[in-house]
Structure formats: C-alpha cells, structure tokens
Amino acid sequence: METIPQKQPEKGLTWTLRTVRGEIRPAAWEHIEQELDRLHPSDPDSFLVLEQEGETDYWYIQSAVALKGPHAGQYIVGCGWSGAQGPSTPGGIALVEWYGDYAGAVEKFRQVWETGTVDFTGFQDLSYELPANQRQSVLQICRMEVGPLETNCYILTEKHAGLAAVIDPGGDAPRIIREIQRQGVKLQYILLTHGHYDHVDALPELAAAFPEAKIHIHKKDVQGVDPQLFPVPAMLKDPKCPVKQLHYYKAFNDWDVETHKAKDLPFGCLNIHPIHTPGHSEGSVTLRVSGGPLFCGDTLFQGSCGRTDFPGGNVGKMMSSLRVFGMMNGDAAVYPGHMEPTTLEEERKNNPYLRQALQETP
C-alpha cells in the first residue's frame, strides 16, 4: 500500500455525474446506481464518471466493464486526481484501479457518496499510463539554435526506448549529430514543420549519418514549390545527395486527408500527432507529442506569428491555423521555429494575432 498514491475527495465540493451518452446528470445516489446497472461488456462505450472540480484540484471515480485481457468481464473502478504527490505521479496526476464484481463496484461508489472517502485496499497504481506522466518521465527535449537565421532545432528523446526525433535541422549538422551520438539513442525520425531552407539545410548530412531515419514533410512543401525557398525537391533530384525517400504526413486538420486516414507517428510509448497549420507555407505542420508540447515551426511565435508574404503564404490560412491553437483545450508548452518557447495560455492572453483570429468568424 505504501507505493499506491492516495488522495481523498474534497469535502464540500459539488459532485457531477457524466455518462458516455454525453449526459450530465444530477449526482443523486439513485442515478449513480442506475448508471452502474447499465454497464455491460457487450457495449464497448459504456462507462460513468462521478467527478468534482475545485479551483486547483480535480478528483473522480469512474467505472466500466473490461472487454478483454486478464480482467475481461469484471468491473473496473478507477480513481484519479490532479495535485497528487509522490514519485509514482511525477506529472502531478494519478490513476489507481480496482477490479471486481458488480456488488464491489457499487460498494466503492457508495463509500465515496456516503462518506467522501475511498478504501484503496486492492487498488493498483496505473499513474504511469497517463500521457502527462509518460511525457514527464520519458520525453526529453533539447533545443539548439542552428544556421544563420538561428532556427530552433529540437531533438526529442524517448528515454525508455532509446529513440530520438529531430525537428527542423536547419543547419550546424555536426552539432546535431554529435548530440544524438552523445545520447546514444537511435534516430527514428527527421521531422520537418515546413520546407523552407532555414529548417532543412542540415538534412543531407543527417540523412547520410542516420540512413534508417524516416524523413517526414508535408507534400505541399515539396510539390510545385519555389526551389530557392524550398530546397528539398532539389535534394531528391541530386544523385549525390543522400536524401532519397520522403514520407508525407497524413496530417489531422488537412482538407486533403480524410479524417479516418490521418495518422500519428509512434514514438516509443509516446505518439507524435501531426496537425496541418498552413499560412506561413502551404505545407506547414505542427507536431504535438502525446497531447502535450507543440512544435509549431513558423506558424505561432511568442507574441507574434509567421510571415505570410513568401510564396505559399496566405493570411486567411494563417488566421485559421492560429484559431486552431486558440481553440485547443487547456494549456501546453509551445516550441516555435525561432525565438523562445512560450505557452498556449500566454499566447491566448497576449498574442494580438491569435486574439484577432479567435474573434474572426471562421
């Protein structure tokens, strides 16, 4: 029990009952019991959540029926919260689960409802499976300014699997290569937020040093572009250049990609979520790691946004892309292609371009 994080509900906070049908019901015991009785293993979407939210803390108890695995057919009761303490919850959040029969699940909910406490005996700590905890314990971000325009190149490291991804190698290839070798990791991806020369100039050297790394870019920054501003097509045509194959993002928020065909890139126990954010270029992409940090290239800057006067730039598309950032849930770290990192919340409050985008009618 010493290794299981424990946090009890707050006294005096209002309870809310949510169901998979999108209903928010009054938190009365008869409603809770009804929803527990509705849970069924033949319905993969059936669950209920009893939750409370204060100014700084959030606490919930939820239940569903396990569909497969060692607990198939059993009731899962999970308790989770923010503001947890302890080494098992480095992200400040926790999830613990119990498995048993219907009567046991009812008793867990009744205990919370009537006494405001939980007996955590028999619960298992699954906090590590929460994306925020995975990011904090697994993801390492190294930022280095490269090339004459001081482009931000990022080396992402998934420490458990020993994998790396380089975002926007805009120059100074020897420095980038040395850092990857110093870490002793395998370079899985070279990821380009867009195809401008100041974000891709070190690509040939990295492709030569790490031939197994997959190079990803949006096809609109390769096909029919200005060769002086977008050098990747010329790299492909040069027989002496080690850049031989590109992988095109199947990005989310992309009119040319059906929603069900958009794909994340697996990165160890994490995932990299490509979002099409045109405006600075037709093929600009933002990369989000497991619902956390955003690597947005030259779309969003601290207090500003990317230029739209280059070939492929478009003010209207830039406003639409900024609106995507403004409408994202919660806060997140933002790592731009130039200048210092920022946060979504900071930009929502202080970035005049993003604020204007949110005020405009889509």
Q: Which is more confidently placed, 10 or 109?
A: 109
CA distance 165 to 267: 8
CA distance 19 to 31: 11
Compute, in degrees rounded to 10, the torsion defined by CA atoms 23, 25, 30, 32: 60
Give strand pairing partners of 47.
Answer: 64
* Residue carrying structure tokens 């194959």: 245
Q: Which residues contact 218 (CB under 8 A, 6 or more apart)?
A: 192, 194, 195, 248, 249, 251, 276, 282, 283, 284, 285
* Residue carrying structure tokens 């009893």: 50
Rounded mean pLDDT, 283-307 = 94
Q: Which residues contact 241 (CB under 8 A, 6 or more apart)?
A: 204, 207, 235
Nearest to 89 by CA among 137, 42, 121, 56: 137
Q: What percent of the chain has pLDDT over 90?
A: 49
The conformational region for residue 148 under phi > 0 = left, psi -120 to 50 = alpha, else beta, is alpha
CA distance 322 to 312: 17
* Residue 39 contacts residue 75 (beta carbons within 8 Å): yes
Phi/psi of residue 218, nearest 5 degrees: -80, 135
When the pLDDT of each residue in the chain is averaged and rounded to a whole number, the result is 86
- Note the pLDDT of residue 45: 60
**3-state SS, residue 298:** coil
In which band, very low, low, confident or very high, does the pLDDT at 85 lie, cut at 50, 70 and 90?
A: very low
Q: How many CB atoms lie within 10 A of CB 115?
A: 11
Rounded mean pLDDT, 38-64 = 77
- Note the pLDDT of residue 40: 72
- Note the pLDDT of residue 88: 35
User: Residue 87 pLDDT > 60, yes or no?
Assistant: no
